[in-house]
Amino acid sequence: MKLNELLGTKYPLIQGGMANIATGEFAAVISNAGALGLIASGSMDGEAVREQIRNCRAKTDKPFGVNIMMMNPHLEEISKVVIEEKVPVVTTGAGNPGKYIAEWKAAGIKVLPVAPTVALAKRLERNGADAVIVEGTEAGGHVGDLTTMALVPQVVDALSIPVVAAGGIASGRQVLAAFALGACGVQVGTCLLVSEECPIHENYKKAVLKAGDTDTVVTGKISGGAPVRCIKNKMTREYVAKERAGAKPEELEEYTLGSLRRAVFDGDTSTGSVMAGQVAGMCNEVKPAKEIIENLFAECKTAYEKLDV
């Protein structure tokens, strides 16, 4: 099935969740550009999500979604708010949403969970997901171990529902590659961080613009906590040093408390978590979101015509 048919979009592209960044207003910008904008509910409570849904609706009549982070302490509340507010699409991340899928589906919501493995993707298909978003470890933020290149075709082969590719996509060539791997669309985050409308601190945007191919690192791999990909800085260096020295998960958690907010709102790119994917190295220019999205599909077409196989 075509992703545009499932979501009611013009472009088969979903904006990544991006906790603390993707407000209702930003999601509306992306939806108005013809893709699917998402409100990132991150660690918001139910009423904050409701407010963002209403803000989004005030700015667009196009389909949009809410991304639900499964580690959110207000998960139960949010799972009800998306039903009450008749949100068209829900995506999930950082956990298994299996037990919520039936009630969301019964409310007419399209459900697209992120799966970092074939096993979870299969389970989610059995639970009734409309499609799965397969996110490779190239992505920014919380990540699994497998790459987009290796994981997407394995999930495509194992499932009958549509698969959306995420992680490592910031150009038309990568969109084309995702389709070649059997995906029906893409999810992108990092390339939208450098959109004019993205409501992050200027310093965060500059850090992404400046980053090269080797400038991101995954913290939390050694300690067995939640692995998170960020742009390398003082925080990631100290975090990894603490992990190597055998720091306890609680100590590490306390160390990063509020670190994403510090980067997003205060522009503290030294002790903050500047979450971004490996493609930060190719996001070198600030442009309107609409132009970024249109360029991805125009470039995809040119790259297809130029394929020399």
Helices and strands (H and E) in the chain: how many: 14, 11
Q: Which range of residues in 46-54, 74-82, 94-102, 296-304 is near ligand TUI by CB under 6 A?
A: 94-102
CA nearest neighbour of 191 among 14, 73, 19: 14
Counting contacts by CB under 6 A, is residue 143 touching ligand TUI?
yes
Counting contacts by CB under 6 A, is residue 95 touching ligand TUI?
yes
Counting contacts by CB under 6 A, is residue 142 touching ligand TUI?
yes
CA nearest neighbour of 53 among 16, 20, 22, 95: 22
By CB under 6 A, what part of segment 68-87 binds ligand TUI?
69, 71
Among 3, 7, 19, 66, binds ligand TUI (CB under 6 A): 19
Q: How far is it, in rounded angstroms, from Cα 192 to Cα 280? A: 10
Closest CB to ligand TUI among 144 and 168? 144
Closest CB to ligand TUI among 19 and 112? 19
Among 7, 21, 78, 94, binds ligand TUI (CB under 6 A): 94
Closest CB 142 distance from ligand TUI, rounded Å: 3
Closest CB to ligand TUI among 35 and 143? 143
CA nearest neighbour of 236 among 215, 251, 213: 215
Residue 15 φ/ψ, nearest 5 degrees: -80, 135
Q: How far is it, in rounded angstroms, from Cα 198 to Cα 14? A: 15
Name the residue number minimizing CB distance to ligand TUI: 141
Identify whether the C-beta of residue 136 lies closer than 8 Å to the C-beta of residue 11: no
Interface characters, 156-195, with ligand TUI (x: CB under 6 A): ----------------------------------------
Q: How far is it, in rounded angstroms, from Cα 229 to Cα 168? A: 12
Q: Kindly state the number of chain residues that form the binding site for ligand TUI, as judged by CB under 6 A.
A: 20
Q: How far is it, in rounded angstroms, from Cα 172 to Cα 22? A: 23
Q: Which range of residues in 5-13, 92-100, 203-211, 291-299 is near ligand TUI by CB under 6 A?
A: 92-100
Identify whether the C-beta of residue 122 lies closer than 8 Å to the C-beta of residue 159: yes
| Residue ranges in contact with ligand TUI by CB under 6 A | 17, 19, 42, 69, 71, 93-96, 114, 116, 120, 135, 141-144, 226, 228, 275
